[in-house]
């Protein structure tokens, strides 16, 4: 098969059985290897859909500037798509993001504006800054991954159908974290249409309000997390379309331990959000019982977190150095 350029190479990622987790739970735990996309993350899919949709309806003119507020991965996907389609890319990023992501954005030709972290209620929040930059720039287009329905559609039309096809329609549960809500929204909507009894669960990191939203009907959060790109303090248009059966919470300790466990046991070199998704997969497998088939999303790889998630000194300073030799950290 010959794919049509960079955009044609996005998606159709393999669905892999994670042997260590499957053996430990007596279930089949499957990971959708989104870290193998051209831009290294699941965000390549909405980046492509957002740009193509904007080009079709005239919001993004030839040679225009794609503007986005991002924790990194969507910006990376947009920067690549912008190169392929002849656009410029301008991203607003909290300066606390992994330095590997920031450096990569610049290598890919994006203009990067670093801002101080600020709550969404503040006009200094990276989302609002990006929106203003798009208004100020001639030919600027605000990608708006949080509210843009093309994000949902990317996963409803591609990720969900791929999961259904590659699993042979034999899934008992799906679990993942959410940031913009596009992945969990599109995937859950597609799969629930075909298997209403499929269990779809959210796993939420510290500092996010989505767990309380699902379980109590209100946004409430405490703490903070080292994971990037997941967890949010509001309900987005994309998340609102998710069809969920429940929610669980995960911790930074569990994400770090799982990341190092999977690298050691399976050779899977993953980022923190993917590791937290695998924490959720183990928990859902235990809830559903032996023999269940659980799928999750391996959002991105570990290389862009090497100076943090895989740096012994950085982890030790935060009391997060991995100690477990097995999955006892989930007991």
Catalytically active residues are: 43
Burial 290-310 (b: 16+ CB within 10 A, else e): eebbbbbbbbbbbebbeebbb
Q: In whole angstroms, how far apart are CA 241 and each of 49, 182, 186, 244?
A: 17, 9, 8, 9
Record the tokens describing residue 215, joined without a space. 């379980």
Q: Which residue has the tokens 């990317």?
A: 154
Q: What does the alpha-carbon distance between residue 150 and residue 144 come to, in Å, rounded to a whole number?
A: 10
* DSSP label of 330: G
Please answer whether residues 207 and 221 qualify as being in contact, where contact means their C-beta atoms are separated by less than 8 angstroms. Answer: yes
Record the tokens describing residue 30, joined without a space. 């499957």
CA–centroid distance for 23 within its chain: 26
Q: Which residue has the tokens 């790109």?
A: 229
CA–centroid distance for 296 within its chain: 11
Residue 59 CB contacts under 8 Å (≥ 6 apart), including other chains: 141
Indicate the SS3 state at residue 155: helix
CB atoms within 10 A of CB 136: 9
Record the tokens describing residue 14, joined without a space. 């393999």
């Amino acid at each position: 098969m010959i794919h049509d350029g960079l955009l044609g190479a996005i998606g159709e990622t393999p669905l892999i059985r994670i042997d260590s987790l499957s053996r430990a739970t007596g279930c089949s735990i499957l990971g959708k290897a989104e870290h193998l996309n051209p831009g290294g993350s699941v965000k390549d899919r909405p980046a492509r859909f957002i740009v193509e949709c904007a080009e079709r309806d005239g919001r993004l003119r030839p040679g225009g500037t794609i503007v986005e507020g991002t924790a990194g991965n969507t910006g990376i996907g947009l920067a690549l798509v912008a190169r392929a389609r002849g656009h410029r890319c301008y991203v607003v990023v909290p300066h606390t993001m992994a330095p590997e992501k920031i450096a990569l954005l610049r290598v890919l030709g994006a203009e990067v504006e670093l801002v101080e972290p600020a709550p969404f209620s503040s006009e200094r929040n990276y989302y609002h800054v990006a929106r203003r930059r798009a208004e100020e720039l001639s030919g600027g287009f605000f990608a708006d991954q949080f509210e843009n329905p093309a994000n949902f559609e990317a996963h409803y039309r591609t990720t969900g159908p791929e999961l259904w096809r590659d699993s042979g329609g034999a899934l008992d549960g799906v679990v993942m974290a959410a940031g913009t809500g596009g992945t969990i929204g599109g995937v859950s909507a597609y799969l629930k249409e075909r298997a209403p009894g499929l269990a779809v669960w959210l796993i939420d990191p510290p500092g996010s309000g989505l767990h309380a939203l699902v379980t109590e009907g209100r946004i409430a959060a405490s703490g903070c997390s080292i994971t990037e790109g997941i967890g949010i303090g509001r309900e987005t248009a994309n998340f609102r379309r998710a069809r969920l059966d429940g929610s669980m919470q995960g911790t930074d300790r569990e994400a770090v331990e799982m990341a190092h466990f999977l690298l050691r046991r399976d050779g899977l070199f993953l980022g923190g959000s993917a590791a937290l998704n695998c924490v959720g997969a183990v928990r859902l497998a235990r809830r559903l019982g032996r023999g269940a088939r659980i799928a999750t999303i391996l959002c991105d790889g570990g290389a862009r977190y090497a100076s943090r998630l895989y740096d012994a000194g950085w982890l030790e300073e935060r009391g997060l150095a991995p100690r477990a030799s097995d999955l006892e950290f989930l007991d």
